[in-house]
Amino acid sequence: MLIPRCTICQGPGEEPLPQFVVPRQGPDRCHPAGARRWLVSGSPRSLRDWVLEQELLEWRWLEHLEDFVRTGHNVQAHDGLSGDAWGVSQRGMRSVAGLSSAEVARRVPVPEGARQMLDIGGSHGYYSVVICRRHPGLRSVVLDLPQAICHAAPLLAQEGMGDRVVYRAGDATTDDFGTAAFDLVFIANVVHHFDVPTNRDLARRAAHALRREASSSSSISSGRARRRMPGRSAPSMICSSR
């Protein structure tokens, strides 16, 4: 039997997932194996927070699609977000990051002997966490807006990375990332927010922040591991977006 709405077994005080059609089991609750795996908080594979982000934020942004087609003016997603909305956004991004993080950590070409990583717009910091766990000598600085860090910091704290993954409040569109300060610059789920000139300037500042050797060159990847030049250890800038 299918029902248009139900409350999946959540923790005390948690908001039920909206607008889901799932099989009913028992008189007043639904908990098939698939729902428990993907939609119940506490499951290692739970997408509950991502589903809530889609429902409460992203679908509402898409309501302005016709305006964009007519005028060319896009929605500035972060403008005017309430504190609650910032929290929904950070938890949603952390939720969906769990699906790809292990593969991302395997594929990111971390230079041999790398010590410092910059994660631009890294929000929850989970990509930094999994990459640093894979490379024990690596530390990461996660740069994001103060409003994002306020709600994302508790998510990072749950990972127990101590001072190996830390936050730096800033603005990716204007901040100076330093000169030759990092071995790896990682940018994920960010560039779709910006126009072409802004992204070009972001890439320029990120490349400037990379440490360089006389015989090496930086690389920009969109989810594919770059080819290494024999005998060279190049710093890496990894850029990706949805």
Enumerate the domain spans of the chain: 1-46, 102-240
**Ranges in the chain, pLDDT < 70:** 1-34, 75, 77, 80, 83, 213-242
* Residue 30 confidence (pLDDT): 53
Residue 234: Cβ-neighbour burial (10 angstroms; 0-12, 13-18, 19+): buried
Regarding pTM above 0.75, the answer is: no
CATH class entry, domain 102-240: alpha beta
Question: Which two structure tokens, joined as six digits, stand for 126?
Answer: 């989970």
| Amino acid 33: pLDDT | 66
Q: What pLDDT is stored for residue 144 in this prediction? A: 94
Do 118 and 185 meet the contact criterion of CB atoms below 8 Å apart? yes
Yes or no: say if 78 and 189 are a contact pair by the CB < 8 Å rule: no
pLDDT digits 0-9 by tens, 112-136:
899 999 999 999 999 999 999 999 9
